[in-house]
Copies of this chain bind each other. A is one copy, B any other.
């Protein structure tokens, strides 16, 4: 097995991929990223004789949206396997926007995804991953470090996830004051259809992320009533699968605002109401960060979030912590880059 198996996916961005200002939705890009990752890792995991399997998304690392993509541009998505553990595959995906009229190209995203091979015959059986070969020993060591780190984080969120209380969604917005949490809270339901699913009959991770971004975007737009775009998504762990025929409820609430950004927490709950007697359960949750743009594409100031309850105040402080941490990390990276 070679370490690098590059894979490319291209598509012209259509009007339905974008908001009315012409900016392609972050969710559309996340869905393409996940499709590329699913294809390359499924192919890799089936590359040796053995039980056929489908690679299921287990985790996406924190992703930044570096520059906007527009209707009519071509999105070029390339994927490469960068590490394999015994039971998981790390895929690195790069997205470039290309204006095919001017030839201008920009990196819009770099994402890291983790996949796990599930047997086609028995979805609860995790198979072994064929090892890849590394050009240099350090690549393997660094990959192993990343693997251990994400494993730890997945364990932690699994425990935390159970605690989270369902958000109270009150659509009676007229009685709410603008800029409160309740004012912009939003939720949608979606019946999982066949095109949303993998060969195993479970929802593609990319489909879930697209719906999450849709809700988060509506929360952000309701808060600041301007053109908004996805700036980043925190690491997302997919602990629980969602089966075809489920109804999923995707809910979002704003947790924090800085001068120029908004953080929105999004929950995905699955309701397997027809086939099985199982109770509704939390499948995924994540934090999305949005910025507000003027008609010329310049960042606008964001109205401060008004917190009312104790919980809202606590979540605001937690959001502030994440914001400051990310800011510090980015500054450290920039300094490091400057020194090199």
Question: When the two chains form their complex, are residues B103 and A72 in contact, meaning their CB atoms are under 8 A apart?
Answer: no
> Which single member of B38, B105, B194 contacts A195 (CB below 8 Å)?
B194
Instruction: Give chain B nearest CB distance to A19 CB in angstroms.
Output: 7
Is residue A331 within 8 Å, beta carbon to beta carbon, of the partner chain? no
Within 8 A of B (CB), among A99-141: 100-103, 105, 120
Given A101-B226, A225-B274 in contact, is the A171-B39 Cβ separation under 8 Å? Answer: no
Question: When the two chains form their complex, are residues A280 and B15 in contact, meaning their CB atoms are under 8 A apart?
Answer: no
Given A101-B53, A280-B174 in contact, is the A221-B247 Cβ separation under 8 Å? Answer: yes
A36 to B8 Cα, complex, angstroms: 12
Q: Which of A83-91, A212-220, A298-306, A321-329 touches B?
A: A212-220
Given A15-B14, A171-B8, A273-B42 in contact, is the A194-B193 Cβ separation under 8 Å? Answer: yes
Interface digits, A36-57 against B, CB 8 Å rule (1 contact, 0 not)? 1011001100110100111000
Is residue A311 within 8 Å, beta carbon to beta carbon, of the partner chain? no
Contact size range, A? 35 or more
Is residue A167 within 8 Å, beta carbon to beta carbon, of the partner chain? yes
Contacting residues, chain B, for A38 (C-beta < 8 A): 12, 191
Interface digits, A284-315 against B, CB 8 Å rule (1 contact, 0 not)? 00000000000000000000000000000000
Interface digits, A205-240 against B, CB 8 Å rule (1 contact, 0 not)? 000000000110110011001110000000000000
Closest Cβ neighbor of A279 among chain B residues? B174
Is residue A244 within 8 Å, beta carbon to beta carbon, of the partner chain? yes
Best-surrounded residue of A72, A173, A193 (most CB of chain B within 10 A):
A193
Question: When the two chains form their complex, are residues B189 and A8 in contact, meaning their CB atoms are under 8 A apart?
Answer: yes
A9 to B271 Cα, complex, angstroms: 15
Given A12-B38, A43-B271, A221-B274, 10 more pairs with CB closer than 8 A: A8-B8, A9-B10, A9-B188, A14-B194, A47-B103, A76-B171, A166-B172, A168-B171, A173-B280, A227-B274
